[in-house]
A and B are shown apart, each in its own frame.
Chain A
């Protein structure tokens, strides 16, 4: 079963939930944690894994063979990312805009485009401490995390429980991370920002036809808009985590909730049970 942990708004507690869920489950299950927040992966701070494998992630970028090129401009027209420009007898390639889709090479009538690899990040993995851990790291200055996320997801071992920690927002990296999940856990907070971005995230997961449930973190602050919205939209609130200085203190020291306050382990196991029931119920009716 693949459970992705997303949020919309940043800083609501995705990492808190993803790491504690993984730690709570590891004694009774085969657990994998994929940190797909490749621009700032931070699950490692809490799991402290010993990295035993590192793999380079590259994207293919076009190189123009000027001997064959007739400057027809088809490559520039076809490029959805404006990574190629043709002016007169000048072809410019902007590697950092290139998504590596290969359309330019495919459509070049002169076969004048070859691809070279450009390194954009790494994927690290570890199997220490009962959790198979994988994280992607996008190289500093790179703008397109998709290829790194895709590589992280290649490690998915769906025999066990896979927990995917997703980046904030609702854009391409988020979609790339959550697509293929059996369930998406949306972590939010009871504030106007949390509410606004939760609604956007719900729209996104619904479009992908992934069932979702909500975790309200810092419960007790703000207002009741998130809860009212969940009732209105028929989205189950699966867990609330109170606004608590003790939790914040643990987190600031890199200690998961499940380890720092062991009573939370049971609560996360219950959360998993609820998710499992929702996923099974759905598969019965589909």
Chain B
């Protein structure tokens, strides 16, 4: 089983990026081997529909869940349609987040937790 975490850096020592669609990287973790690698989010700088295009990228990685800070309505709909679990409201160190996920502490969210275009304005987080 693999999970994807939106991150500011390329390693498990980095912090969770609050944005899903416009995050700089994803750290993809294989929970069986605990191997991880970074995925450059090429969709991050797109002009629109970024939540949808980022989802298309993530799907190709075959992950069962994504862990992020905020997930808007378009991305949420796309991820749900693709059968990927969505965990939002997460901050902090990626290593800690992986441990929390493994121990079942993180709950999936059935709804988007922010509106569209939230990731375009990283200084302002609404909930």
Residues of B close to A285: CB separation below 8 A: none
- CB of A85 within 8 A of chain B? yes
- CB of B74 within 8 A of chain A? yes
A66 to chain B, nearest CB (A): 14
A96 to B74, CA, bound (A): 10
Most chain A C-beta atoms within 10 Å of own C-beta, residue among B52, B59, B77, B78: B52
A63 to B119, CA, bound (A): 28
- CB of A28 within 8 A of chain B? no
A92 to B52, CA, bound (A): 10
B46 touches A82 (CB 8 A): yes
Interface residues of B in 47-81 (CB under 8 A from A): 48-50, 52-53, 55-56, 59, 74, 77-78, 81
- What mask results when residues 139 to 179 of chain A are scored 1 for a CB within 8 Å of chain B, else 0? 00001000000000000000000000000000000000000
A79 to B55, CA, bound (A): 15
Interface of B is mostly: helix
- CB of B82 within 8 A of chain A? yes
Please tell me the size bucket of the interface on A.
10 to 19
A55 to B11, CA, bound (A): 55
The 29 sampled A-B contact pairs (Cβ below 8 Å) are A76-B56, A79-B49, A81-B48, A82-B48, A82-B49, A82-B52, A83-B52, A85-B52, A85-B55, A85-B78, A85-B81, A87-B56, A87-B59, A87-B78, A87-B81, A87-B82, A87-B83, A88-B82, A92-B77, A92-B78, A94-B52, A94-B74, A94-B77, A96-B116, A97-B48, A97-B52, A97-B74, A143-B48, A143-B116
